[in-house]
Amino acid sequence: MNLNFEPIGLNKQKQYLKRLSECSQNASDYSFTNLWGWAEEYGLQWAWQDDLVWIKQTQPANLYWAPVGPWTTADWNLHFENIRQQTVFTRVPEELTNIWRSHLGDRVSLEKERHNWDYLYSAGDLIELKGNRFHKKRNLLNQFTRKHNYTYVHFGPELIEPAMAMQADWCDWRDCESSEILAAENRAVLKVFMNWDKLVGLTGGAILVDDMIVAYTVAEKLNSDTILIHYEKGCPDYRGVYQAINQMFLANLTQDFQWVNREQDLGEEGLRKAKLSYNPVEFLRKYRVILK
């Protein structure tokens, strides 16, 4: 593929979002905030060709991600006709793998990437927390609300500075520098905070106790029926604070969403356990694709 890759920049954000809206399945990896926020960590670049945006990862290895644009009308045989060796794609949403297999047949080889699957939840479930499945979550939420004189607020530019201070404290609590994943996430969080007003569609919420942020969440509308949670942090001194910010943010959204996408677990055992504990109703499956 003869593509001219360049750094992912804010200057093409709106054009990219249009291409993303034309995909028939939206995975969390491909939101502009994720793509741009993590670009330096993965060495991400993009190339614009006709109606598609091609994405390449250069760290820690050279891989392609799924192209973004109108998958169902693209001429995939034409796009891939000049491949002279095996080309590897990662984080390819299931719907695109089905399209590729229908067009390219046995040229496509698939491997599951369970650690990259998005967790999908019913928004109603996470707001109402009904039934035995959510008994522990409901109890922890109630413990927090009974014990603390709290205020829930919509996240806006005025909260950036105190949220960054809480993020620094959170990284001290979790010893971010000893974990490559947490250190990289911290850099991505700070990058997003410092460019909050430049990023389209970001929203969030925070919980204050004694005028101090004890939890925050950052999210964005992924499509008409799905809200995507990017970051969710809470102070460990406040039991139930994670259950509180999770429930309160969704309950206070001005738009009704059917689904909540809480991204992937990256193969981290603790993170997988935590995400499963909220009873996902589905996964958005992604694959490693070898194209011959």
8 Å CB contact between 68 and 30: yes
* Cβ neighbours of 154 (radius 10 Å): 13
* Cβ neighbours of 268 (radius 10 Å): 15
Mapped onto helix, strand or coil, the DSSP state of residue 147 is helix
Structure tokens at 85: 């060796």
8 Å CB contact between 140 and 243: yes
What pLDDT is attached to residue 95? 98
For the chain, where do the domains classified as CATH 3.40.630.30 start and end?
6-117, 120-263
Which residues are CB-contacts of 7 (< 8 A; sequence separation ≥ 6)?
39, 45
Q: How many Cα atoms sit within 13 Å of 4 on the Cβ side?
A: 3
Total-model pTM = 0.95
Burial of 274 (0-12, 13-18, 19+ CB in 10 A): middle
> Is the CA virtual torsion 287, 271, 190, 144 positive or negative?
positive
Out of 1.10.3720.10, 3.40.50.11890, 1.20.210.10, 3.40.630.30, the CATH code matching 6-117 is 3.40.630.30
What pLDDT is attached to residue 48? 97
Which residues are CB-contacts of 208 (< 8 A; sequence separation ≥ 6)?
150, 151, 152, 153, 214
DSSP β-ladder status, 202-209 and 212-223: antiparallel
State the amino acid at position 133 in one-letter form. Answer: R
Give which of 292, 284, 225, 221 is closest to 93, Cα–Cα: 284
CA dist 217 and 212 (Å) reads 15
Structure tokens at 180: 């490559």
User: DSSP readout, 268-288?
Assistant: -HHHHHHHHTT--SEEE-EEE
Residue with tokens 């927090």, as numbered in its chain: 144
What pLDDT is attached to residue 2? 78
pLDDT tens by residue, the chain, 292 residues: 679 999 999 999 999 999 999 999 999 999 999 999 999 999 999 999 989 999 999 999 999 999 999 999 999 999 998 777 789 999 999 999 999 999 999 999 999 999 999 999 999 999 999 999 999 999 999 999 999 999 999 999 999 999 999 999 999 999 999 999 999 999 999 999 999 999 999 999 999 999 999 999 999 999 999 999 999 999 999 999 999 999 999 999 989 999 999 999 999 999 999 999 999 999 999 999 999 8
Structure tokens at 68: 């973004």
CATH topology of domain 120-263: Aminopeptidase (3.40.630)
